[in-house]
Amino acid sequence: NAKPAQIWTIWTNVDQWHLWDTELIAASLNEQFALHATGKLTPKTGASSTFRITELTPNTSYTFTTQLPLCLLNVRRYLTVTEEKTAFTHEVWFTGVLSVVFSFLLGKTFQAALPQVMENLRHLAETQESEIAGVQQIGRSSDREST
């Protein structure tokens, strides 16, 4: 039930990724959310890593890429909007010489974590959407009362 803009706001607020991504302790962006911007990810397990936004279609999709030894980890997030609903998708894939090795080592971890990550994101977006609607409703009530 969340609006696409609400999901996009959550996705682009990198400092808050740990609130819904169960595999992260922290994330930060060194600059404004934009194509080629870089940041840092601190996972629950493993070393911190730098990422770069490698694809960006504002309000629709983005991909960030992290360098691993002889491999790239790519995470693409995108929105699909229909009249009835907003769907959001996270895709994770590896490219490079050791992509098969990293897919084997990390693939099952991503597959296991993503359902909860997606549920957390949905819940956060819908909760924030409800809070915004509540504030707007209070504002409208106050406007009526003051006339």
Task: Report H helices in 4-98.
Answer: 4-12
Domain 4-139 bears CATH identifier 3.40.50.180: no
How large is the greatest C-alpha to C-alpha distance in the chain, in angstroms?
69
Q: Report, as an integer, the average pLDDT of 99-107.
A: 92
Q: Report, as an integer, the average pLDDT of 69-92.
A: 92
Q: Inform me whether the pLDDT recorded for 132 exceeds 70.
A: no
Question: What pLDDT shows up at residue 140?
Answer: 53
Q: Inform me whether the pLDDT recorded for 67 exceeds 60.
A: yes
Residue found by looking up tokens 């080629």 in the block: 36
pLDDT band at 133 (very low <50, low <70, confident <90, very high): low
Question: What pLDDT shows up at residue 147?
Answer: 46
SS3 of 43-59: the string is ECCCCCEEEEEEEEECC
